[in-house]
């Protein structure tokens, strides 16, 4: 089963979409298998991260922004704005796909784990994530 999710973003940050992925897994109606997620963009990424304390997400965002700052004089890809090249670098440093086992009809996420789209640009809009359920 393959389904494309549309995740709305309102600027840089982490956007949980665990519920939407759980809904696709439930719809697949399988006992065990593998859920693969793939983001169809080069300036955003995917991650599994702490879903209890939002300060962990805030700290990740601050750390990555410090590691890959905007307006670095080394950047030549600046046509789309000061946040574009840093977003591509952040995407290259993180993950554009995830694989999560399915057991007993459910994702095998840990108690405090959630699935996030990590938006690296300041833009508002929708991002596409392809969900593939294999059994």
Distance CA 71, CA 73 (A): 6
- Residues 95-130: pLDDT tens digits? 999 999 999 999 999 999 999 999 999 999 999 999
Distance CA 104, CA 128 (A): 27
Per-residue model confidence (pLDDT) at position 15: 97
Residues of the chain with pLDDT under 50: none
- pTM comes to 0.95
How many C-beta atoms surround the C-beta of residue 129 within 10 A? 24
Distance CA 128, CA 2 (A): 13
Dump strand ranges (E) for 11-103: 13-16, 33-39, 44-50, 97-103
For residue 36, which phi and psi values (nearest 5 degrees)?
-110, 135
Per-residue model confidence (pLDDT) at position 39: 98
Per-residue model confidence (pLDDT) at position 126: 98
Domains and CATH numbers, the chain: 2-134 (2.60.120.460)
Half-sphere exposure for 95 (CA within 13 Å, toward CB): 14
Per-residue model confidence (pLDDT) at position 7: 98
Using only C-alpha atoms, the chain has a radius of gyration, in whole angstroms, of 16
């Amino acid at each position: 089963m393959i389904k494309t999710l549309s995740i709305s973003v309102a600027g840089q940050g982490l956007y949980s979409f665990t519920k939407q992925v759980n809904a696709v897994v439930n719809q697949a109606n399988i006992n065990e298998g593998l859920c693969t997620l793939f983001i169809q963009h080069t300036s955003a990424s995917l991650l599994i991260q702490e879903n209890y304390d939002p300060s962990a997400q805030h700290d990740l965002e601050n750390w990555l922004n410090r590691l890959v700052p905007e307006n670095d004089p080394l950047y030549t890809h600046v046509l789309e704005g000061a946040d574009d090249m840093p977003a591509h670098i952040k995407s290259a440093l993180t993950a554009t796909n995830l694989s999560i086992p399915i057991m007993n009809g459910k994702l095998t996420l840990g108690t405090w784990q959630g699935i996030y789209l990590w938006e690296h640009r300041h833009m508002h809009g929708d991002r596409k994530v392809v969900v593939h359920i294999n059994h």
